[in-house]
Amino acid sequence: MSEKEVEEVVEKASILFKSGYNCSQSVAAAFTDRYGFTQEQMLRMAASFGGGIGRMRQTCGAACGMFLLAGLETGAIDSKDRAGKAANYALVRQLAAEFVKRNGSLICGELLGIKKTEESYVPEERTEQYYAKRPCVKMVEGAARIWGEYLEKNDK
């Protein structure tokens, strides 16, 4: 993946988020073409991780989308492949550390400045005010950029 392609997927992720997809879907679906899934399949795979996993404000959905992509790229498929599992877990930790370095946290509630547990599972309506008060677009773009940079460095 080239530097130009990285910027293209970052923009695609941003557009997806601004069109109403959740943070995890936006990151994962920006890379649909690379992994041989339809956009619908990728959106379904990532759907549950938005809002900090089911809007529980836990692990940031944008980061979860990035971790899903790491699994597609390096996930072990042999149940006895301990080295493969370890390599994937090491990559996820590396990605998580980079996300925290750039954003200060991996936790959705902390990134949003929410002090209490989210009670509602119903997503907020996407309005100009919604986008203005939340750092989510930045998280989506950042996670897509981190994954794109990983691919740029590691593609053969």
Of residues 129 and 138, more confidence is placed in: 138
Phi (first) and psi of residue 107, to 5 degrees: -95, 120
Per-residue DSSP letter, 59? B
Q: Is the pLDDT of residue 131 over 80?
A: no
Average pLDDT over residues 126-132: 79
Of residues 5, 14, 61, 60, the one with CA closest to residue 33: 5
What's the pLDDT at 130?
A: 80
Query: What is the Cα–Cα distance from 105 to 84, expressed in whole angstroms?
Result: 27
What's the pLDDT at 118?
A: 66
Write out pLDDT tens, residues 95-128: 999 999 999 999 999 999 987 776 778 778 787 8
What's the pLDDT at 99?
A: 98
Contacts of residues 122-128 at CB distance under 8 Å and 24 or more positions apart, as own/partner, are 122/55, 123/22, 123/50, 123/51, 123/55, 126/20
Write out pLDDT tens, residues 35-94: 999 999 999 999 999 999 999 999 999 999 999 999 999 999 999 999 999 999 999 999
Exposed (0-12), middle (13-18) or buried (19+): which is 36, by Cβ within 10 Å? exposed
What's the pLDDT at 24?
A: 98
What's the pLDDT at 121?
A: 82
Per-residue DSSP letter, 122? S
* pLDDT band per the 50, 70, 90 thresholds, residue 26: very high
Cβ proximity of 24 and 46 under 8 Å? yes
Angle between helices 82-103 and 136-154 (to 10 degrees): 130
